[in-house]
Structure 1
Amino acid sequence: AFVFGRTSKGATLAVHQGLLQRLNEDEIEGVIGHELGHVKHRDFIVVTMISAIPLVAYLIARAVLWGGYASGYSRRGSGKNNNAGVLIIIAVVAYLVYILTTLLALRLTRLRESYADAYSAFLTQRPRELESALTKIAYGLSIAPGEPHGARAFFIEDPAQAKQDVARIIDQKSKYDLDHDGVLSERELELAMEAEAKSNWRKAAELFMTHPPTYKRILMLREIEQDMNTGNFQQSNIYKHV
C-alpha cells in the first residue's frame, strides 16, 4: 500500500491486491491507518521534495566534473588549467553534498514511517493490527521472487530490507529458539528482535535503509500498546516512542 498525490486533499491511497488477499480485515485496517498517517503528515510531498535535493547535487557534480575534465583536456599543454582544478573541487564538494543529503533523506523517510506507525496505532487503538500486518508483509516480501522496486521508499515495507530482516533471524534461529522446539514463539521472536535492534552492524546498515527495520517498528508498537494498557497513550503524546 502507498499514497501519492500533489496535495493532502487530492491524495490517492493505493492498496495492492496481494495485500487484500493475504491480510485479514483488522490487519488491513492497521495498514490503512499507517497510510492515512502519511496523508496527515503530507509525507508523499515532503519525501518527494527532500529526495530531489541529493538528485540535484548529483547532477551538478556530474556536470561540473565532466566540465572540469573537458576544460583540462582542451587546455592541456597551455599551462592554463586553473579553471579545471576549480571545477573538479566544486564537483567533489557537490558529491559530498549528494552523499550527505542522501543519508539525511533516508533518515527522514525512516522517521516518517515511524510517525505513520504511531498514528495508525492511535487511529485504530489496536497496535497489534499493524504489528501483525508488518510481520506478514515482511515475510511475504522476503520470499517474493521480484526485484526491489525503484519506488520502494513509498511502500509500507522495503522488499530488499524485508529479505535481510527475515533471513538474518532465520539464519540464527537456533540461537533464539530457547526451548529448542523448532519454532520461534512470540516471546522468542520478541527477544530476537530486541537482540537485532542492539546489533552494531544493524545500526550501521540502517543508515542506508528507506524504512526502519521491521523488528524495530514492531518493538515500538509493543511499547505503544503497553502505554495504552496503562492509560498513558494520549493524543498529546502519540509520537513519544518515535
Structure 2
Amino acid sequence: DTINVIITSDHGMASCSAEKLIILDECIGRNNYTLIDKSPVAAVLPRQNKRDVYNLLKKCHRHMKAYLKEEIPDRFHYRHNKRIQPIILVADEGWTIVQNESLTKLGDHGYDNALPSMHPFLAAHGPAFHRGYKQNTINNVDIYPMMCHILGLTPQPHNGTFSNIKCLLTDQWCINLPEAIGIVIGAFMILTAFTCIIIMSKNRVVPPRPFARLQLQSDDDDPLIG
C-alpha cells in the first residue's frame, strides 16, 4: 500500500458492419472535394463552392452529420485550429464513411465521445485512492491534474478539471451528488417541521377559563362580589 497504480485506456471501441456503410460516391462526385481524413470523422476539403458541397453532404445519409467548420458543436473542442478542414462529417455509432470501398475492419473508435462505447475504463489502487469507490464517468484529460496532485507537481496548462476527480482521492473532501441531494432534502424536511411547530404554537387557541369574569382586576373600582 505504498505505490499508486492507475490503469486506463485512451478510448473505447464500437463494432462495425459491412451493412452499415455511408457511401459518399452515391451523394457527390469526387471531383467536387478531397477527402482528407476518413471514418468515423471525415474531413472534407471542397474543390468547388463550399456551401454547395456542404448541402450535398448534409442530406447524403441519415446516419451521418455534416458540419461547416464554424458550426462544429462546442463540446467537440474541434473548431478553432487552422488544420481543421472546412467541412467535417461525423458518422453515427457503428457506421463507416467510405467513398466506395468495402469494409476492412470489424471495429472502430473516434465516434461521438458522448457515446458510452467510446468511454475508456479507469482503475486505480493505492494509498491516494478511496478503496472500493466507484464513479460513473470522468474525462481522460482530468487524469493529468490528478497525477500531478498525487506526485506533488505543479501541472502545466491543460484542459482537465481537478474537481471532477476529487472524490477518488483520500486527501480531498468530497461530497457526491446523491449525498448532496440527501442532505438538502433532510435539511428541508427538518426546517419544514420546525416551521410548522412554530406556526402551530402561535395559532393555538387558549380554552376559556370558567368564571373568568369573576376574577378581580387591579383596576376594578367596584368588585362584583364582596
The answer, yes or no, to whether TM exceeds 0.5 is: no
- Bigger strand share: 2
Q: TM-score, normalised by structure 1?
A: 0.27
- Bigger helix share: 1
Which structure: larger Rg? 2
Q: TM-score, normalised by structure 2?
A: 0.28
